């Protein structure tokens, strides 16, 4: 079975966009690949989170992933900071990376612009740490969003360069893996673009029915259909996307017909969308509550995940040390 590894930054709660765009695909992957998922808490240090928040943020994300259906028996989940082997590989890989190429990474440039007073070396070597995350397991496939393409290119470069310098075929070049078939772009509720935490247009998986309904009822619309069978403007298309994602085909067809014959009332449409989103989110929310309340279970799952990860990383590092010339 091919090896799949992916990291999740513990930056806030999961929303519907994360769920349909990524997490659901993770859940499908766990049956098809030897999957390993981790919570990238070291990566979050580039923005200096508060000490009292670090462990809690990791736990929240862990609970949410489990609630979405990741089964740690099939796909172990670990917390990055539990597996120190990564750091050794990070050091080795950094020795082969050049300042110029790290500076050229777009995400670095962006973050440097966003936090001009804290352009730290961790930010610069973010791609090396990410490469270490992946290469320590000699993973072949990495499910990531399109925004990670440059980081993935750097990971491949790390692998290739190590192999070249030492004349070995040790690291496979990890391939990005877009969960194309199943992933859906979930729009925001503000009319355009996609659902994103920083846009403030999200429905969170922990939102209760009342909150969800309120958010949906406030979604942006227009003056209503003007002519029979006219194409839908983006804001309305977006609402229909929610029907596509959370409702039945019959419901979609029903409202689509109403759009086409100009009898659609947005209030009715929104009520239906709200009800169907609630139906999708409620079971996940209940599980989030259950898992978050069980710290012992969460810690046990993280511990077991770390054992699996450590075993895989230890085997890799032993070879890496030997290849570089150290005592294995
Ligand atoms: N950089 C990724 C993101 O921002 C998170 C991440 C860290 C990651 N290490 C990884 C993803 C390793 C895949 C593999 O989303």
Q: Is residue 54 part of a domain?
A: yes
Average pLDDT over residues 128-134: 98
| 305 shares a domain with 239 | no
Q: Is residue 327 part of a domain?
A: no
**Are the CB atoms for 284 and 67 separated by under 8 Å?**
yes
CATH number at residue 78: 3.40.50.620
| 87 shares a domain with 46 | yes
Q: 32 CB contacts (<8 Å, ≥6 apart)?
A: 1
Q: Is residue 201 part of a domain?
A: no
**Are the CB atoms for 147 and 111 separated by under 8 Å?**
no
Q: Is residue 41 part of a domain?
A: yes
Choosing from 197, 215, 232, 287, which is the catalytic residue? 197
DSSP-derived letter for residue 7 is E
Q: Determine the structural domain holding residue 255 and report its residue range.
A: 207-286
- The angle, 0 to 180 degrees and rounded to 10, between the axes of the packed helices 209-217 and 266-293 is 150
- pLDDT tens for 189-240 read 887 788 988 777 899 999 999 999 999 999 999 999 989 999 999 999 999 9
Choosing from 74, 84, 194, 214, which is the catalytic residue? 194
- pLDDT tens for 132-142 read 999 999 999 99
β-partners of residue 77 are 37
| 3 shares a domain with 76 | yes
| 101 shares a domain with 17 | yes
User: How remote is the CA of residue 145 from the centroid of ligand 1, in Å?
Assistant: 9
DSSP string, 138-191: T-SEEE--GGGHHHHHHHHHHHHHHHHHHT---S--PEEE--TTT--PPBPTTS
SS3 39: strand
Which residues contact ligand 1 via a Cβ below 6 A?
5-7, 9, 40, 43, 130, 133-134, 142, 144, 148, 151
Known active-site residue 194: yes
- pLDDT tens for 58-85 read 999 999 999 999 999 999 999 999 999 9
| 112 shares a domain with 94 | yes
Tally of domains in the chain:
2
User: How remote is the CA of residue 63 from the centroid of ligand 1, in Å?
Assistant: 19
User: How remote is the CA of residue 52 from the centroid of ligand 1, in Å?
Assistant: 23
| 253 shares a domain with 169 | no
| 259 shares a domain with 165 | no
CATH number at residue 272: 1.10.240.10
| 160 shares a domain with 265 | no
């Amino acid at each position: 079975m091919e090896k799949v590894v992916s990291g999740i930054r513990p930056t806030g709660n999961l929303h519907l966009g994360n769920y349909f765009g990524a997490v659901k695909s993770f859940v499908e992957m766990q049956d098809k690949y030897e999957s390993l998922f981790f919570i990238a808490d070291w990566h979050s240090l580039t923005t200096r989170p508060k000490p009292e928040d670090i462990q809690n943020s990791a736990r929240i994300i862990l609970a949410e992933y489990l609630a979405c259906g990741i089964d740690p028996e099939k796909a172990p989940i670990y917390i990055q900071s539990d597996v120190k082997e990564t750091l050794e590989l990070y050091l080795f890989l950094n020795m082969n990376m050049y300042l110029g190429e790290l500076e050229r990474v777009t995400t670095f440039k962006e973050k440097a612009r966003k936090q001009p007073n804290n352009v730290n070396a961790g930010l610069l070597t973010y791609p090396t740490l990410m490469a270490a995350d992946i290469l320590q397991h000699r993973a072949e496939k990495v499910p990531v969003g399109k925004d990670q393409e440059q980081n993935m290119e750097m990971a491949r470069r790390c692998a290739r360069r190590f192999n070249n310098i030492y004349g070995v075929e040790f690291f496979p070049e990890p391939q990005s893996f877009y969960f194309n078939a199943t992933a859906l772009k979930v729009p925001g509720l503000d009319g355009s673009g996609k659902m994103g935490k920083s846009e403030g247009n999200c429905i969170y998986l922990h939102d209760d029915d009342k909150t969800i309904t309120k958010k949906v009822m406030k979604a942006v619309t227009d003056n209503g259909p003007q002519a029979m069978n006219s194409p839908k403007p983006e804001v309305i298309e977006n609402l229909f996307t929610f029907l596509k994602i959370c409702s039945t085909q019959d419901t979609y067809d029903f409202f689509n017909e109403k759009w086409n014959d100009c009898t659609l009332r947005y209030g009715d449409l929104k009520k239906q969308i709200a009800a169907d989103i609630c139906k999708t989110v409620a079971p996940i929310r209940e599980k989030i509550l259950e898992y978050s309340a069980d710290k012992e279970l969460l810690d046990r799952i993280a511990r077991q995940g770390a054992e699996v990860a450590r075993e895989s990383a230890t085997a890799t590092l032993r070879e890496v040390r030997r290849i570089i010339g150290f005592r294995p």
